[in-house]
Structure 1
Amino acid sequence: MILNSKRATAVHEAGHAVIGRVMAQECGEVTIIPDRSAMTAGYSITGDAWSTIHAWDQAGRWREYRSITIGRIITLMAGRHAEEELRGVCQGGDGHDQREIAMMVDEAGWGERGDTAGDAAVLLARLERFSRAAVRRHRKAIRALASELLKRKSMTADEVAEVLQPHLPRWHWPPRPKVFC
């Protein structure tokens, strides 16, 4: 664990929290309180793919497992990208994120088919670009949430949603049910 400054940690975790919501992931609390036993400077809870799929199913909507996994990978990449975009550098501290990404790619078997579409390196490069673009697009929301995190240290999912409402007005969790007319 590299102990970044509180500001770097707030930006990093806000990046995860904002982009996770943009990617329609199930997201929970966020904190910048270090947990030395877990070797973390903070965390942003993003539900696993199955809990996100379940929430979408409950709303009568459908999402493919692969698309949810891709959204999780983009969310995990967003912490580092938020630091780079808003602070100019990421001094580390995203080792856990990188391990999670590698595990998801391995579990999905991407890159085992031998074709370009299945090549994990090509896919990850594409997702890196997408994550960077998403962070740039939502940097005001990330900055606003990071600022609140510095004041409060920890925030519930509802508190995060309240802070992000002016920046992500169309975002709703859980997803709204489809209405057929």
Structure 2
Amino acid sequence: MKRLTFLFTFLFLSAIGFSQTSFHDFKVQDIEGAEFDLSQLKGKKVLVVNTASKCGLTPQYELLQKLYDEYGGDEFTIIGFPANNFNEQEPGSNDEIAEFCERNYGVTFPMMSKISVKGDDMHPLYQWLTQKEKNGVSDSEVGWNFQKYMIDAEGHLVDYAEPRTKPDDPKIVNWVKGDS
């Protein structure tokens, strides 16, 4: 009976789209085009940010780097996903984006290949981040560049912060430090 219940549960969850139940189930490409398995981040909190080089919010790179310098390591990391979804504010190639981030902001946190974070070509990771039926927590819409998603050490979505919420905002810092 237990096996039959498990089988029905598995089939039901598969049918309604629960094939990706954790952030750690995804594989993406880093900015150099190599596969990056998010399961390697198990045990770390992760701040996922969609970025752009030609946006009024681009100076947030500096604050993201400061956050990473202060807290990044075994228990926390930041991952940037360049996206060209908002007024074509990330038109460059992956190489151009990497050079821009390093030259202008000294970015050392992991940057991934450019993806789409909304629309018909939305990357599967962002589908998971923005759809409650997939992440089990909440629906959201990526409103602009530099929206931040907070993932716990077990790979579950915890919360998100709007684009204008700066990386040094208490909501984010307290979450990173474990105060909330």
Tell me, yes or no, whether TM beats 0.5. no
Give TM-score, length-normalised by structure 1: 0.30
Bigger RCO (CA 8 Å, 6+ sep): 1
Structure showing the higher strand proportion among its residues: 2
Give TM-score, length-normalised by structure 2: 0.30
